[in-house]
Amino acid sequence: MSMSTIFGLGSRTRKGVFATKQNLSMASWSLPPLSSLKTYAALTCFVSLFTAHSGSASAADGKALFSTTCIACHGSKGEGNTVIGAPNIAGMDAPYLTRQLSNFSAGIRGTAASDNYGAQMRAAVAVLKSDADRVAVASYVASLPKIKATSTFKANLTNGSTQFNAVCSSCHGSRAQGNTQMGAPALPGTDPVYLERQITAFRSGTRGAHKDDKTGGLMRVGANMLPDALSVHDVVGYINTLNTVKP
Ligand code: HEC
Ligand code: HEC
């Protein structure tokens, strides 16, 4: 049986199932246009083919996984959703993304009782069954063009830049561009409210305190060098001005 035959059969079956479900349980809803049904059929078909051969992940698999699993919260371009606290992840470094997905899966990140945001993400990554899945989806997200956060954020930028240059630049770089060797991610473009929440989480040990979280442990040292919560706020305000992405 050729690939195109498999695809053809798959789409017809999926379309049928989807249409029947719509008719039964969502009778009052109008049916989505044919084009979105086709996309749905192609995606689900793609994912089921992929699941059958999960040893061989590729960039295309990453795109399919992203479309079915991640865009609901992170948006179709990976731009994030500030209302639900899902960060902008487009164009982040692939090894950093892979490590975070593994950390959520393994319970190294997102397990603290107070971490409601992390818990959401832990539930979502349960769909990724293997390292190959995580690498594929991370590579796809890394390939997306970076998007600048649009938030305005009031802070004392003088204090922010002083603290940043004294504490953060040694690991994250003078423009917060990141340092791959150290595992420190690029920070500009990420929503400031998310950044502030993360630094606060590192300070309290909600993130980064797990014994297997080596890079998180490094960051905890940095976060705890800031004198107080006001300085956390100011440093984030300063990072928010270091835009390296064209709006
Ligand atoms: C139910 C909503 C939801 C879904 C679905 C979801 N995420 Fe998330 N994601 C979040 C939230 C909320 C956070 C912030 C967690 C925190 O505050 O620690 C997050 C954080 C992340 C991070 C950490 C980013 C960083 O800068 O450290 C990555 C990477 C990520 N998500 C990737 C994904 C990928 C890839 C998928 C699909 C496989 C996905 N997410 C699906 C809500 C979601
Ligand atoms: C000793 C090196 C080091 C120092 C100093 C340091 N960081 Fe980090 N930072 C890291 C590493 C490594 C990570 C990745 C942690 C992980 O893998 O979860 C990180 C992660 C972060 C994150 C999480 C980003 C995300 O997308 O979730 C933020 C925010 C951050 N650092 C901000 C700062 C700020 C602000 C400072 C200065 C107050 C600072 N860091 C100082 C090494 C450092």
CATH of the domain at 143: 1.10.760.10
- Check pocket membership of 122 for ligand 1, CB cut-off 6 A: no
Residue 99 located in a structural domain: yes
**Cα 240 from chain centre:** 19
Amino acid (one-letter) located at 104: F
Is 183 a pocket residue for ligand 2 (Cβ < 6 Å)?
Answer: yes
Tell me, using a 6 A CB cutoff, whether residue 167 lines ligand 2.
Answer: yes
The tally of domains found in the chain comes to 2
Q: What are phi and psi of 33, to 5 degrees?
A: -60, 155
Tell me which residue has its CA closest to atom 4 in ligand 2.
222
Structure letter (DSSP) for residue 211: T
Confidence check: pLDDT of 162 > 50: yes
- Higher-scoring residue by pLDDT: 66, 188: 66
Q: Which among 122, 147, 172 is the end of a domain?
A: 147
Would you state the pLDDT for residue 148? 79
Domain annotation covers residue 88: yes
**Over 50: is that where the pLDDT of 11 sits?**
no
Quick one: 68 and 142 in the same domain? yes
Place of tokens 């990724």: 128
| pLDDT for the residue 196 | 97
Tokens linked to 146? 């970076």
Q: Are residues 82 and 140 in the same domain?
A: yes
pLDDT digits (tens, 9 = 90+) for 172-224: 999 999 999 999 999 988 899 999 999 999 999 999 999 999 999 999 999 99
Q: Residue 92 domain-assigned?
A: yes
Q: Which two tokens stand for residue 77?
A: 């371009």
Return the ligand number nearest the Cα of 86. Answer: 1
Same domain? For 126 and 183 the reply is: no
Distance 69 CA to ligand 1 centre (A): 10
Residue 185 and residue 111 share a domain: no
Q: Which of 124, 147, 170 is the last residue of a domain?
A: 147
> Which residue, 190, 186, 185, is CA-closest to 103?
185
Q: Cβ(70) to ligand 2 under 6 A?
A: no
Residue 225 pLDDT greater than 50, yes or no: yes
Q: How many CB atoms lie within 10 A of CB 212?
A: 10
Report the atom number in ligand 2 closest to the C-alpha of 190.
26
> Is 58:52 a contact under the CB 8 Å cutoff?
no
87 lines ligand 1 (CB under 6 A): yes
pLDDT digits (tens, 9 = 90+) for 134-149: 999 999 999 999 987 7
Residues 174 and 233 in one domain: yes
Can you tell me the distance from the alpha carbon of 189 to that of 103, in angstroms, rounded to the nearest whole number?
A: 23
Q: Length of the chain, please? A: 247
Please give the residue range of the domain that contains residue 235. 157-239
Pocket probe mutation, ligand 1, options 121, 127, 172, max atoms within 8 Å of Cβ: 121
Q: Do 137 and 66 share a domain, yes or no?
A: yes
Q: What is the pLDDT of residue 245?
A: 57
In the block, residue with structure tokens 């059969």: 9
Q: Specify whether 124 is located in the same domain as 180.
A: no
pLDDT band for position 60 (cuts 50, 70, 90): low
Q: Rounded to 5 degrees, what are φ and ψ at 81?
A: -145, 105
Find the ligand nearest to 141 CA.
1
CA atoms within 13 A on the CB side of 109: 24
Answer yes or no: is 98 within a domain. yes
Ligand 1 within 6 A of CB of 86? yes
pLDDT(49) > 80: no
Closest residue by Cα to residue 172 from 88, 238, 89: 238
Is 51 within a domain? no
Do residue 117 and residue 193 come from a single domain?
no
Would 124 be classed as within a structural domain?
yes
Q: What is the mean pLDDT of residues 92-106?
A: 97
Provide mean pLDDT across the span 105-130.
94
Residue 189 is predicted with a pLDDT of 86
Angle, CA 120 vertex, CA 200 and CA 132 arms, to 5°: 105
Say whether both 131 and 198 belong to one domain: no
- Short-list 61, 80, 88, CA closest to 185: 88
Q: What is the pTM of this model?
A: 0.82
Structure tokens at 164: 């940043």
Report which protein residue has its CA nearest ligand 1's atom 27.
100
Helix or strand (DSSP H, E) at 173: none
Determine, yes or no, domain membership for 32: no
Cα separation, 119 vs 201, in Å, equals 14
Can you give the pLDDT at residue 5?
A: 34
Q: What is the pLDDT of residue 53?
A: 41
Tokens of 106: 């393994």
Question: Distance (Å, rounded) from C-alpha 166 to C-alpha 51?
Answer: 48
Whether 138 and 67 share a structural domain: yes
In angstroms, the CA 40 to CA 68 distance is 9
Type of residue at 201: A
Query: Is residue 208 included in any domain, yes or no?
Result: yes
| CA dist., res. 73 & res. 69, Å (int) | 9
Question: Cα(104) to centroid of ligand 1, in Å?
Answer: 9
